[in-house]
Amino acid sequence: MALKMKTILIAFDLWEVIEVGIKSHQSPKVATRSGDEESEAEQTILHASMTSREDKIKNAKALSLIQGALTDNLFPQIRNEKTAKGAWDILSKEFRGDKKLRVVKLQAVKADFEYLRMEDSESLDGYLAKFLATVNNLKSLGEDVSENRIMQKLLMILSRRYKSIVSIIEETRDLDVLRAEEVIASVKVYDKREDLHDERDKLTGIEKAFSSLKIGNNQAYSSHKGFQGRPPQRWQSQDCEGTKFISKQKLNQLQEFKLEQYCLGK
């Protein structure tokens, strides 16, 4: 979060307020003068007043951005802080802690980074989010993580599904200048294509299954004795006259209730 917040403050030209704080301006004591000296003194006072006002506005903007980025459980820690620098310092101590604690945290995150591996069951987007979060944690704790190190690690930890695209990247790209963002973009395109292929294979499999089912039914009908290849539709009851037929389903129902002798017909 600290890295994102710093980027936002820099983008709004407010980072100086965090580093330096609000400059204290004192109105200069001006003796009674006349002419040009008096006019120059008035301009100095006016300039100091305008500078002070600009600093206050910048401080308010920076403090507002910091407050807006906090969750409800963190906001009370800076509730009474009036300066952006003060709020930033409080949050920095909270998240980074003292030097010894920071070293312990860094070792833990470095271990997480080293043992990162993508499981076959994990989605690409979900795993990339976890991977980049670990990288950001390293940077926030002061670890210098080079672009090449991130890129090389990413190529090593992808699951077997991406073995082909990893081989292509390693054989066709200059790994000394390749950025992690480029690797991620290429892998995402490959992942989308594989999803499309999987979907097509799935549809083809369903079509084949239906086709087999249809052929199987036709073969079952044609192999039925006494019907010369036609599916059996109607059966004759032994208790009915030779000219009357009923469906097999109805005959079964009649037999179940011992009513077949009534021969209800169609």
pLDDT at 264: 47
Structure tokens at 131: 């991977």
Mean per-residue pLDDT for 221-245? 48
In this structure, which amino acid lies at residue 201? D
pLDDT at 186: 93
pLDDT at 96: 65
Mean per-residue pLDDT for 151-176? 92
The answer on pLDDT for 55 being more than 50 is yes
235 pLDDT band (50/70/90 cuts)? very low
223 vs 100, higher pLDDT: 100
The answer on pLDDT for 80 being more than 70 is yes
- Neighbouring C-alpha atoms within 13 Å toward the C-beta of 136: 11
Q: Find the range with the poorest average confidence among 86-95, 112-121, 122-131.
A: 86-95
Q: What is the average pLDDT value for the chain, to the nearest integer?
A: 75
pLDDT in tens, 171-220: 999 999 999 999 999 999 999 988 887 677 666 655 555 555 555 555 54
Mean per-residue pLDDT for 148-169? 93
pLDDT at 101: 77
Highest mean pLDDT among 2-16, 63-77, 111-125: 111-125
Please report, rounded to a whole number, the percentage of residues in the chain having pLDDT higher than 90. 29
**From start to end of the chain, where are the E strands?**
234-235, 246-247
Alpha helix segments (H runs only) across 70-98: 84-96
DSSP string covering the chain, please?
-HHHHHHHHHHTT-HHHHHT-PPP--PPP-----THHHHHHHHHHHHHHHHHHHHHHHHHHHHHHHHHHS-TTTGGGGTT--SHHHHHHHHHHHHH-SHHHHHHHHHHHHHHHHT----TTS-HHHHHHHHHHHHHHHHHTT----HHHHHHHHHHHS-GGGHHHHHHHHHHS-TTT--HHHHHHHHHHHHHHHHHHHHHHHHHHHHHHHHHHHHHHHHHHHTSTTTTTSPP-EE--TTS-TT--EEHHHHHHHHHTT-GGG----
pLDDT at 258: 53
74 pLDDT band (50/70/90 cuts)? confident
